[in-house]
Amino acid sequence: SQKIEQNSEALNIQEGKTATLTCNYTNYSPAYLQWYRQDPGRGPVFLLLIRENEKEKRKERLKVTFDTTLKQSLFHITASQPADSATYLCALDRDDKIIFGKGTRLHILP
């Protein structure tokens, strides 16, 4: 069955630095890969979607890469701020559903 691994449960980054989160998956590559943000007690909020034929996607301070050969996506937040502290979820967009990884808890330290 499809597995999604996000590199670490928690990540501490100094304010102003770039945070890089990793998502690896097994089995087949999805046509789309998505990243969501989840705050405690709240529902996931969509951030970015990247297609299998795209190498990179940017939105403001966010950047996502997608390497179907490595079966990996990297999610970058540049110039990180304490308000970026949250759990970030990698998600495979497959047919009639989105499958989520466990997420990485990101702490931006002031």
Partner 1 sequence: EPEVTQTPSHQVTQMGQEVILRCVPISNHLYFYWYRQILGQKVEFLVSFYNNEISEKSEIFDDQFSVERPDGSNFTLKIRSTKLEDSAMYFCASSEAQSGTEAFFGQGTRLTVV
Contact (CB, 8 A) for 99 and 4: yes
Question: How far apart, in Å, are the Cα atoms of 85 and each of 1, 9, 19, 104?
Answer: 31, 13, 10, 10
Q: How far is the CB of 80 from partner 1 (least distance, A)?
A: 23
Residue (37 or 76) nearer to partner 1, CB: 37
Which residues fall within 8 angstroms of residue 60, CB to CB, at 6 or more apart? none
Residue (18 or 52) nearer to partner 1, CB: 52
Q: How far is the CB of 65 from partner 1 (least distance, A)?
A: 18
Q: How far is the CB of 92 from partner 1 (least distance, A)?
A: 10
Q: Which residues bind partner 1 (CB under 8 A)?
A: 31-32, 34, 38, 41-46, 49, 51, 89, 93-103
Cα four-point dihedral sign 50, 54, 25, 13: negative
Residue (32 or 72) nearer to partner 1, CB: 32
